[in-house]
Structure 1
């Protein structure tokens, strides 16, 4: 059985369970603007209700009951993107902060590129078919966190939910 067939079996089993859960989890009814909430401490006890307060905007502090304005959200997202860029570049100067500048730098490093190419050719490909031994397949799966490639995932799931 291939990994794709095992994953397909697992997904089918999970999908069946999710459909069954939705019939218990979301009650029928409700109208535009209503929200779903717990009506008591009993299992599956929910009800539709109309919230009495609209959304409040507060740019001063994060909150579980209020939201930032779109301007504040944009500024926070932009700052996060800039921080990520700075972290990725790790202080690289302006001469090396684009892909074309990095390409020019690498083209001047032919021996390093040759060594890198050799190392890449010893890796598992994703752009072309490749013949691997059972040992190589098992090692590749372990390296990328898939574990044992012949595990019957649907069987594990069925056992776990029993």
Structure 2
């Protein structure tokens, strides 16, 4: 079966088999390196992608479901303002996610800031549960995300004056 999807801003025609998962297409066919699935059951969060603007686990998504869809991975998202701000906040506060979860944590936190410009701690911790890696303390990450959100909103407010 052949399907078309927009992946990281480019239209792709993909040949898929009935049992293929989105993570397989992205890792094996398109060589996207930011996805490092471990569990293949949605528990590790290391395969998070944006599917039509929503976070999803690529290991749980059948490939046929992406027909006509738009998929964004860290490779695209890392260049947007929110992701850059999160990366800078992590550096400033000496937060170092491990190589296995770094990309998907940035992706998840960027999505959080897009959808919740002033997130509360509970919302931040909810997003962090999508990537339950123990390499960072969720409370410390939440404090950093609060600072990043405040800085982004101050800059936005100053531009609008």
Same-fold call, TM cutoff 0.5: no
Greater Rg by CA? 1
* TM-score calculated relative to the size of structure 2: 0.21
Larger RCO (CA within 8 A; separation ≥ 6):
1
| Bigger strand share | 2
Q: Which has the higher helix share?
A: 1
